[in-house]
Chain A
């Protein structure tokens, strides 16, 4: 009995992790954006694509991740291979919220020199999920 309860409890704890799909992460960022701005229009793959190619300093996102969401990238300094960002080509992407936040924090800072907003993160994921943009 106690054991069953324990298993059930473990399963409950495990469920949110299993449910962390790219779509849910995207929705989470969009909801955050809506709470900061009532006029928020929702995620835009086109805006995500523009941001992905923006290069205010040394790099754009495409410098390391290529301009093809499904292509294997290469680190600008070390040359180490980086698996594709599009979940269609790399099912491990956008499954772990803490990992996604960690990389948005680092890469937005390295590329744009500032953190990305929730709206921008939603746009970027929408772009990386959009078949019309090669994802």
Chain B
């Protein structure tokens, strides 16, 4: 009995260490992968709108975006498997998951809780104004959006 719980405890420690290591590796793996294929993401995901920085959605949400590209927010944004895998790696998503994720609709950045909170003082009217068109056009108000810079000092409301 004593030995068994001893083994269990060691097991537990090993598994937690492994989990911490894997989580760390997953986070750490994102920047080098992004640096290796920077062109793929900018080219494939920056043609119709700004290339949204990877930090704006969780990997699981990006996986759903990538698995539903043939019906992407009202347009066909389909990619072949090679290009989709390159984009997935840049977003920190396992390419296998990115082709298997299922959902009826892709998640929007603009419908995440944090987004609504940060923009609770921005009116729907402003988001729809001709100079902005859509809340998804981050770069209409955030000059550094494509570099992932959203701090309040660089916000400029167009009119």
B1 within 8 Å of A (CB atoms):
no
Query: How many residue-residue contacts, CB under 8 A, span A and B?
Result: 33
**A102 at the A/B interface (Cβ < 8 Å)?**
yes
Residue in B closest to A74 when the chains form the complex, CB atoms: B133
> A79: which B residues are within 8 A, CB to CB?
133-134, 137
Q: Which B residues are in CB contact (< 8 Å) with A105?
A: 76, 78
Main secondary structure of the interface of A (DSSP, over half): helix
| Number of B positions contacting A (CB below 8 A) | 16
Do B76 and A109 touch across chains, with their CB atoms under 8 A apart?
Answer: yes
Q: How far is the CA of A79 from the CA of B127 in the complex (A)?
A: 13
In the complex, whether B136 has a CB less than 8 A from a CB of chain A is: yes
* A68-115 residues at the B interface, CB under 8 angstroms: 75, 77-80, 102, 105-107, 109-110
* CB-based contact A80/B49 at 8 Å: yes
Q: Is the CB of A106 within 8 A of B75?
A: yes
User: Which of A77, A78, A80, A110 is within 8 Å of B76, CB to CB?
Assistant: A110
B-chain residues with CB within 8 Å of residue A75 when the two chains form the complex: 48-49
Partner of A110, one of B49, B75, B80, B137: B75
Task: For the complex formed, measure the closest distance between the CB of B42 and the CB atoms of chain A, giving whole angstroms.
Answer: 13
CA distance in complex: A22, B124 (Å): 44
- Please name all residues of chain B whose beta carbon is closer than 8 Å to the beta carbon of A80 when the two chains form the complex: 47-50
Among residues of A, the one whose C-beta sits closest to the C-beta of B77 is: A106
B74: CB under 8 A from chain A? Answer: yes
The residue in A79, A109, A110 that gathers the most chain B C-beta atoms within 10 A of its C-beta is A79
- A107 closest partner in B (C-beta): B76
Q: Considering the complex, give the chain A residue whose CB is closest to the CB of B78.
A: A106
Question: A19 to B7, alpha carbons, bound, how many Å?
Answer: 66
> Using a CB-CB cutoff of 8 Å, which residues 13-66 of chain B contact chain A?
47-50
Complex CA distance for A74 and B77, rounded to whole angstroms: 16
The 9 A-B residue pairs with the shortest CB-CB distance, nearest first, are: A106-B76, A78-B49, A109-B76, A79-B133, A110-B76, A75-B48, A110-B75, A78-B48, A80-B49
Q: 6 A-B Cβ contacts within 8 A? A: A77-B74, A77-B134, A80-B50, A102-B80, A105-B76, A110-B75
Taking A78-B134, A80-B49, A107-B76 as known contacts, 12 extra A-B pairs with beta carbons closer than 8 A to each other, sorted by chain A number, are A75-B49, A77-B48, A77-B74, A77-B75, A77-B134, A78-B133, A79-B133, A80-B47, A102-B80, A105-B76, A109-B76, A110-B75
